[in-house]
Structure 1
Amino acid sequence: MMTPALHAAVETIMREASERAILPRYQALALSDIDNKAVDDVVTIADKEAEAMLTERLSALLPEASVVGEEACFADMTVMERLKDRLCWIVDPLDGTNNFAAGKPPFGVLVALADRGEILGGWILDCLSGRFCRADAGGGAWIDGERITARTTGEEPPLAAISTLFLDPEAREKIRAHIAPHYRLVDIPRCAAEQYPRLVVGVNDISVFNRTLPWDHAAGVLFLNEAGGKAARPDGSPYRADEYERSDLIGAASPALWDAFAEIVARIG
């Protein structure tokens, strides 16, 4: 299934969605083009138009596959159930929407293909730079057509991008007291389409995610693991696209960095 022709077709579809639905709206949104989905979470007309385009084109590419899109799930959460029993495209039409709505980078498009929760392929487009990452299960990871192997920052202490946005005060205090002394904490980009590549190209060593919805993570987890880094649940179990009720995920530029961080997390609970 994961053929060069399929990879090329998915890339073409994603770039067209970016060029036609997203980039023309960048730094040109009217207030009426932005809606609030939740506290500190917005959706724009670009999200909706891009998802419609991606859904139509990906459905034509593989008619046997359903589409699970972020905005479709926001409208009807039962769409998520498709992940449990069938072949599915998983679509984040505009990852980093809050950045996009504020007129700043990073933001991108994420697409994955999963069969009953097992991630088969992942594609990540940075809309502004055009950087294109892809991976397929057992087939390695690639950036702009060149095979890539994950590398660490080489810094000591290692660099950790940890989001505390959705954590309660007790969890934030645990990070400050037990994790911060062993790592240099850096800002998160609020964009998985940027955060996962950072773990591969030597910008960050560790990333921690509390919410692990499939459109944010399916493509990035596969990309990082196929590049030789490691993304997994804190107990070491693999990330699956159909386990969307679970929280917490650790990504690292190398298995050794992952092991060291997971040991600290296990100690502090």
Structure 2
Amino acid sequence: MTTAIDVSRLADLLREAAKAEIMPRFRNLADGDIRQKTSATDLVTEADEAAERFIARECRSLLPGALFVGEESVAADPALLDRLQEADLAVIVDPVDGTANFATGVPLFAVMAAVVSKGETVAGLIYDPLGDDCMLAEQGAGARRRLGSGEEVALKTAGHQPMAEAVGFISYTYFPEAQKTALLPRLAGVKIAANFRCAGQEYRLLASGGSQFSVYSKLMPWDHLPGCLITAEAGGHIAKADGSPYTPNDRDGTLIAACSEETWQAARTALFPEFA
């Protein structure tokens, strides 16, 4: 666990940013407030950019000298992401995870942050602006849900279920075509295979016992570092499909996050037998 970072204050910052810059714009965006980045499903809104500026400004006071890596900052300057490998301390932020949902008025989005120290994720936070609660974890200290009232409750992942009874989230959009073609028929063996278009909300469900596993490719750090630490600290098991650990420097590959190591093994065997 790190004692040098005020994780509770960081949670406050995410909440403040959501109340000031995100929620006033929810279902209240003008046409010019939504723009495409790389495709019709890869969007940025005024809320994303304003919230990231808010969080970056406050983080300069909270963690002076830390590298700030925001999704929208990297969109403007891709070289920023490479600096993460060398940073002694970094804050990684996704100001609105689930922007496509947010932009169309769907109430499934989140604000996420992770703190990386010398190549290890030492803190992770996922704030739900609509539910007004934050899931957070510090390395080695467990995971908890912090309610809007300030009350905190411990998080625990679900028990193992066979794939025929399991709930899983599958984000297959960015899988290579051959891998996607092989994967889709295998999902018939899963009880529920869903996709919220919001990794933050999917990790929240996994870490609190509402699902058994999640599968991702395109491993951008702001999408996965917070949820992976929270899930692991709640009792789950995280690794890439080839068995290697997921690190802040990973960008590609297949990531499996599961409620337990047994479930992780079962998900890999059922969905990616080529790695088993």
Q: Where on the TM-score scale, by shorter chain, does this alignment land: which range? A: over 0.9
Question: Would you say 1:238 and 2:245 are equivalent positions?
Answer: yes
Q: CA deviation at 1:93?
A: 0.7
Maintained 8 Å contact 1:153/1:202: no
Maintained 8 Å contact 1:111/1:124: yes
CA 1:243–1:169: 2 relative to 1, 3 Å: closer
CA 1:265–1:153: 2 relative to 1, 3 Å: closer
Per-residue deviation, residues 136-169 of structure 1 (Å, max 9, x unmatched): 1111101121121111485742122112222344
Within 5 Å, give how 1:38-57 maps onto structure 2.
38-39=38-39, 40-57=41-58
User: Residue type matched to 1:258 in 2?
Assistant: W
Per-residue deviation, residues 108-153 of structure 1 (Å, max 9, x unmatched): 1001000232101001100111121000111110112112111148
Q: CA deviation at 1:5?
A: 7.5
CA 1:100–1:208: 2 relative to 1, 3 Å: same
User: Residue type matched to 1:240 in 2?
Assistant: T
Maintained 8 Å contact 2:187/2:271: no
Moved more, 56-65 or 162-171: 162-171
Maintained 8 Å contact 1:214/1:241: yes
Counterpart position of 2:114: 112
Gaps of 5+ in 2: 147-151
Task: Name the CA distance, whole Å, in 2 between partners of 1:55 and 1:23.
Answer: 18
Moved more, 98-107 or 234-243: 234-243
Per-residue deviation, residues 173-213 of structure 1 (Å, max 9, x unmatched): 31233x22431242211111101011122322121101110
Provide the TM-score with structure 2 as the length reference. 0.91
Task: Name the CA distance, whole Å, in 2 between partners of 1:128 and 1:114.
Answer: 27
Maintained 8 Å contact 1:59/1:66: no
Task: Name the CA distance, whole Å, in 1 between partners of 2:177 and 2:247.
Answer: 28
Moved more, 13-22 or 228-237: 228-237
CA 1:153–1:47: 2 relative to 1, 3 Å: farther
Q: CA deviation at 1:263?
A: 2.7
- For 1:268, what is the secondary structure of its paired residue? coil
Q: CA deviation at 1:251?
A: 0.9
Counterpart position of 1:121: 123
Query: Pick from 160, 175, 179: which aligns with 2:168?
Result: 160
Task: Name the CA distance, whole Å, in 2 between partners of 1:105 and 1:159.
Answer: 21
Per-residue deviation, residues 86-106 of structure 1 (Å, max 9, x unmatched): 110001011110000001121
Gaps of 5+ in 1: none
- For 2:48, what is the secondary structure of its paired residue? helix
Note the aligned Cα RMSD (angstroms): 1.9
Maintained 8 Å contact 2:158/2:211: no
Number of equivalent positions: 267
